[in-house]
Amino acid sequence: MARGGVGRGVVIAVCALSLAVGVIVVRHADVAHAAGESSVVARVETTKRVVALTFDDGPNGMWTPLVQQRLAQAHVPATFFLIGHDVASRPDLMQAELAAGSEVGDHTFRHPRLPRLTPAKARAEIRAGADAITSNGGRRPSLFRPPYGKTTEAIDAMARAEGMRTILWDLSLEHYVDHVSVPRGVAKLVDAVRPGSIILAHDGGKADRSRTMQALPLLISLLKARGYRFVTVSQLLSEGTAEANRA
């Protein structure tokens, strides 16, 4: 009976130790997140009034030239996350983005939900997207955005293996303007912007982007009036500490 008591005591002690280790690991992970050590970025913690404007799902023959026009008029750079299949169809649009001082990142080759794919197929999508950029006149991308923002630690590791950092966002332009008047939606978005915000918008996909086009000049104007400066994501990363959690 004494032996049984000792045995139970050992088991309890081991379980307690395991729980303690688990807590330490979780706390360490929380600290790593807070310190910006994750390679997944949703915004940047900075005291500088800088913001990055990003566009997904292009290049698109209808919407991308309109976005480029509005950016050029405002002298604002952006970061475009490109679908490789569409880059191959319209490499001139990507080249125009680069010539204007914007940067481009990988958004896979055909825009699938990566977590639903096998690891081999997910890796192939990421690699093919990057290859489409380089084979059509761009540099090897250092930034990756998973379609729909759906990612996992494994997918993040695949992007890192290709030399890219995963970029998400903390604010979405369409979320604010698609269901209310554009001026009202943009005003609410501007109030939500913080130094280091990464704003998601779209210049492609199946949806009608008319409201996005209407909103862009107003968004840029209002943020500039509040003292914000627009930079690319790569420039933003150099301005502070990356944060993995969305706002």
CA 43 to CA 169: how far, in whole Å? 6
- Residue predicted with more confidence, 33 or 201: 201
How far CA 140 is from CA of 61, 85, 105, 108, 143, in Å, comes to 23, 16, 9, 13, 9
75 is catalytic: no
Q: What percent of the chain has pLDDT over 70?
A: 83
For residues 122 and 155, the answer to whether their CB atoms sit within 8 Å is yes
Find the helix or strand (DSSP H, E) in which 177 lies. Answer: helix 173-177
In the residue annotation, 56 being an active-site residue is answered as yes
199 beta partners: 53, 171
Is residue 205's pLDDT more than 90? yes
Q: Which of 56, 57, 106, 156 is catalytic?
A: 56
Its pTM stands at 0.84
Q: Which of 6-15, 25-34, 100-109 has the highest mean pLDDT?
A: 100-109
Catalytic pick among 28, 202, 203, 208: 202
Q: Tell me the mean pLDDT in the region 23-51.
A: 61
Q: What band does 236 get if pLDDT is binned at 50, 70 and 90?
A: very high
